[in-house]
């Protein structure tokens, strides 16, 4: 009865597991599909914001100039507006299917921008003296508010996806890069507008720029942190491009022009100069946003594929589980459960000392029959098996220890070191954890062997091993490299730190007189130090340490040389 109940319970567990797999696959697929819509919406809104930011900045400059809008600027604005309208509409259409209420609000806000464009276009056709006071500020503030609203909506909507994978971090990069582009665009627009109006920047403008730079620093810090967590080469390259274009190219030029604008000493062509450096930096920021969207698309494609595979697997598991629940218990009970119950009953009798019982099912040619034949030998076999297993485990541990350690000194050998080298190089590539290598050699060891014999030489090797072990950290790896050579692997230690340890070891050995059969032996060592660099492999680092050791030997021994 217990076995039957266990089989029934197992079938129910299989069905529950299959149902859960089906539910999980369906949930993952739906979430990935929903996230795909959010990604398409984000891409469209990001494209819309790019063009809208350019429109905002160019119109702000136009409204700052004395003369009416030129045909060139009008063509530029019309082109950007058309692209922004198309992109925003595409994003709103996708958004409308998933978040209808939020779409209504955002669409209404964009309709207000359309009405504002009509009014601002009328102002741009007039000379500066005929324009309404405050028109430029209304335009710039309204556009900025809408940009911030769209960025906020993107951030809120992607949080509703409840995705905890790299996709969430990629959305953070999109939001932060668009915010960074908005802030940088604000700065450039304010300065360009001042140049266009040929007016010095006032204290209020300077304060506003300083506030924008503060926000910009915070957003940049968030971008660095998020991209660091993603560990994505394309995103890292895009971020470094922004750093180069903005901090190394744009910002110094902007600061110089800003100081000139503050003093009213702007040089001719300052507007072309600021424009020539602003376009690459703005493009690099938008490229970072595009790279993040591409990363989202790639991650989401994999999520959809994974969800679909999970859905199919869950459906298959459910069908198989249903078949098991219906058919297997009956067959399993008749073919296996009842015979096993009989054999178990006889085993219980054997356990109680009743060895004269008759074992059934011996006529079967399958595993049940074999089990019946060996049932009377099970207890002794188990005892023998456990004994052999314990002996085998001891032997394996002993062999493992012998394979990794030097039999004379008890230190690790080359095989173990190569395994640790691989670990340390992986840590270096992953998080930049430095490490160093010390190659050291016993001075005049051949003379000691020749004069006092190999037994004395072995004793000196053990003495040196003990001193190295006693004066190194637990995290340091000490190994016998071969003959009288030793190699020390020092995690989280730079070249200078390794030199300090080498000097400590050299001093300890040189200051400790070693006695052998009433002979006082002077045991010293020469040390070669090298720090691992990602630009080379570990063999090159070991070669450097060995070359440093050789140089120390040639220079008189009992010293430290670092490369």
| 78-110 confidence digits (pLDDT tens) | 999 999 999 999 989 988 887 888 889 999 999
Average the pLDDT over each of 46-55, 90-99, 161-170, 341-350 and give the range with the smallest value: 161-170
Check residue 416 and report its DSSP letter.
Answer: H
pLDDT, position 270: 63
Cα dihedral 118, 120, 121, 123 in deg (nearest 10): 130
User: Is position 339 within any domain?
Assistant: no
User: Is position 144 within any domain?
Assistant: yes
Mean pLDDT of 405-430: 92
Listed ranges 41-50, 194-203, 311-320; the one with the highest mean pLDDT? 41-50
Mean pLDDT of 279-293: 85
Mean pLDDT of 50-76: 88
- Which pLDDT band holds residue 320 (cuts at 50, 70, 90)? confident
Listed ranges 179-183, 349-353, 426-430; the one with the highest mean pLDDT? 426-430
427 and 400 both lie in a single domain: no
Q: Is the pLDDT of residue 200 over 90?
A: no
pLDDT, position 168: 80
C-beta neighbour count of 286 within 10 angstroms:
21
| 114-147 confidence digits (pLDDT tens) | 999 999 999 999 998 898 888 888 998 899 999 9
pLDDT, position 294: 85
What is the domain-level CATH number for residue 476?
Answer: 3.30.70.270
Q: Is the pLDDT of residue 230 over 80?
A: yes
pLDDT, position 559: 96
Count CA atoms closer than 13 A to 384's CA, side-chain side: 5
145 and 275 both lie in a single domain: yes
Nearest residue to 324 (alpha-carbon basis) of 22, 2, 16, 3: 16
Contact 433, 485 (CB under 8 A): no
479 and 501 both lie in a single domain: yes
Q: Is the pLDDT of residue 164 over 60?
A: no
**Measured on CA atoms in the order 66, 70, 72, 76, is the torsion positive or negative?**
positive
Residue 418 lies in domain:
414-562
507 and 384 both lie in a single domain: no
Higher pLDDT: 283 or 504? It is: 504
Nearest residue to 441 (alpha-carbon basis) of 427, 422, 461: 461
374 and 426 both lie in a single domain: no
391 and 272 both lie in a single domain: no
User: Is position 346 within any domain?
Assistant: no
- Which pLDDT band holds residue 446 (cuts at 50, 70, 90)? very high
User: Is position 350 within any domain?
Assistant: no
| Helix (H) / strand (E) containing 195 | helix 166-197
**CA distances (Å), 559 to each of 349, 441, 482, 524, in order?**
78, 11, 20, 9
Nearest residue to 54 (alpha-carbon basis) of 90, 80, 91: 80
Nearest residue to 361 (alpha-carbon basis) of 352, 353, 370: 370
pLDDT, position 379: 52
Q: How many residues comprise the chain?
A: 563
User: Is position 164 within any domain?
Assistant: yes
pLDDT, position 112: 94
Higher pLDDT: 339 or 378? It is: 339
Out of 343, 378, 404, a domain closes at: 404
Q: Is the pLDDT of residue 1 over 60?
A: no
pLDDT, position 319: 80
- Which pLDDT band holds residue 354 (cuts at 50, 70, 90)? low
Out of 275, 298, 315, a domain closes at: 315
380 and 516 both lie in a single domain: no
User: Is position 328 within any domain?
Assistant: no
Q: Is the pLDDT of residue 383 over 50?
A: no
pLDDT, position 386: 47
Q: Is the pLDDT of residue 191 over 60?
A: yes
Tokens of 311: 């859905």
- CA distance linking residue 26 with residue 37, whole number of Å: 17
163 three-state secondary structure? coil
Q: Please identify which residue in the block is written with the tokens 């790639």.
A: 298
Structurally, how many domains does the chain consist of? 3
- CA distance linking residue 189 with residue 203, whole number of Å: 17
- Which pLDDT band holds residue 268 (cuts at 50, 70, 90)? low
57 and 202 both lie in a single domain: yes
109 and 195 both lie in a single domain: yes
379 and 485 both lie in a single domain: no
461 and 547 both lie in a single domain: yes
Higher pLDDT: 550 or 177? It is: 550
- Which pLDDT band holds residue 388 (cuts at 50, 70, 90)? low
Q: Is the pLDDT of residue 5 over 70?
A: no
Tokens of 326: 């219906």
User: Is position 341 within any domain?
Assistant: no
- CA distance linking residue 371 with residue 381, whole number of Å: 13
Bridge pairing between strands 560-562 and 525-531: parallel
- CA distance linking residue 24 with residue 43, whole number of Å: 28
User: Is position 372 within any domain?
Assistant: yes
Q: Is the pLDDT of residue 396 over 70?
A: no
Higher pLDDT: 535 or 10? It is: 535
| 248-257 confidence digits (pLDDT tens) | 888 887 777 7
Mean pLDDT of 501-518: 92
442 and 534 both lie in a single domain: yes
| 526-561 confidence digits (pLDDT tens) | 999 999 988 888 999 999 999 999 999 999 999 999
pLDDT, position 213: 83
pLDDT, position 110: 92
């Amino acid at each position: 009865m217990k076995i039957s109940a266990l089989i029934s319970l197992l079938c129910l567990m299989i069905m529950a597991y299959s149902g859960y797999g089906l539910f999980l696959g369906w949930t993952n697929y739906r979430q990935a599909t929903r996230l795909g819509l959010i990604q398409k919406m984000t891409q469209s809104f990001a494209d819309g914001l790019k063009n809208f930011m350019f429109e905002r900045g160019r119109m702000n400059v136009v409204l700052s100039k004395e003369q009416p809008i030129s045909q060139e600027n009008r063509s530029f604005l019309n082109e950007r507006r058309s692209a922004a309208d198309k992109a925003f509409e595409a994003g709103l259409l996708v958004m409308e299917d998933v978040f209808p209420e939020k779409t209504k609000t955002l669409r209404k806000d964009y309709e207000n921008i359309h009405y504002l464009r009509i009014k601002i276009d009328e102002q741009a056709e007039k000379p500066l003296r005929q324009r309404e006071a405050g028109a430029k500020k209304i335009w710039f503030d309204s556009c900025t508010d809408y940009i911030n609203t769209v960025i906020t909506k993107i951030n809120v909507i992607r949080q509703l996806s409840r995705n905890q994978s790299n996709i969430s971090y990629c959305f953070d990069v999109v939001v932060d890069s668009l915010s960074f582009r908005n802030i940088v665009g604000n700065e450039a627009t304010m300065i360009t507008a001042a140049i266009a109006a040929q007016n010095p920047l006032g204290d209020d403008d300077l304060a506003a720029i300083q506030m924008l730079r503060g926000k910009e620093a915070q957003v940049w810090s968030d971008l660095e942190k998020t991209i660091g967590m993603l560990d994505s080469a394309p995103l890292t390259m895009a971020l470094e491009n922004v750093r180069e274009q903005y901090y190394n190219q744009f910002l110094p030029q902007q600061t110089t022009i800003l100081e000139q604008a503050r003093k009213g000493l702007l040089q001719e062509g300052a507007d072309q100069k600021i424009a020539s450096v602003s376009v690459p930096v703005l493009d690099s920021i938008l490229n970072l946003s595009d790279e993040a969207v591409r990363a989202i698309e790639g991650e989401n494609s994999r999520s959809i594929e994974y969800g679909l595979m999970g859905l199919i697997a869950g459906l298959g598991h459910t069908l198989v589980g249903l078949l098991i629940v219906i058919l297997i218990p009956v067959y399993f009970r008749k073919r296996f459960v009842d015979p096993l119950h009989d054999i178990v009953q006889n085993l219980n009798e054997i356990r109680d000392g009743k060895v004269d019982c008759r074992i059934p099912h011996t006529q079967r040619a399958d595993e049940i029959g074999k089990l019946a034949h060996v049932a009377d030998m099970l207890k002794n076999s188990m005892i023998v098996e456990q004994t052999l297993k314990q002996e085998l485990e001891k032997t394996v541990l002993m062999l493992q220890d012998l394979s990794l350690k030097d039999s004379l000194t008890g230190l690790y050998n080359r095989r173990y070191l190569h395994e640790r080298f691989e670990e340390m190089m992986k840590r270096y590539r992953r998080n930049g954890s430095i490490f160093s290598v010390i190659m050291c050699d016993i001075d005049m060891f051949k003379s000691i062997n020749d004069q006092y014999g190999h037994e004395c030489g072995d004793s000196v090797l053990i003495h040196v091993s003990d001193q190295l072990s006693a004066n190194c950290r637990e995290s340091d790896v000490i190994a016998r490299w071969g003959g009288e050579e030793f190699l020390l692997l020092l995690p989280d230690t730079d070249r200078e730190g390794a030199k300090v340890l080498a000097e400590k070891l050299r001093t300890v050995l040189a200051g400790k007189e070693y006695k052998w059969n009433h002979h006082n032996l002077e045991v010293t060592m020469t040390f070669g130090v090298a720090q691992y660099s990602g630009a080379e492999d570990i063999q090159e680092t070991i070669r450097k340490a060995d070359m440093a050791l050789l140089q120390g030997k040639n220079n008189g021994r009992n010293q430290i040389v670092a490369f």
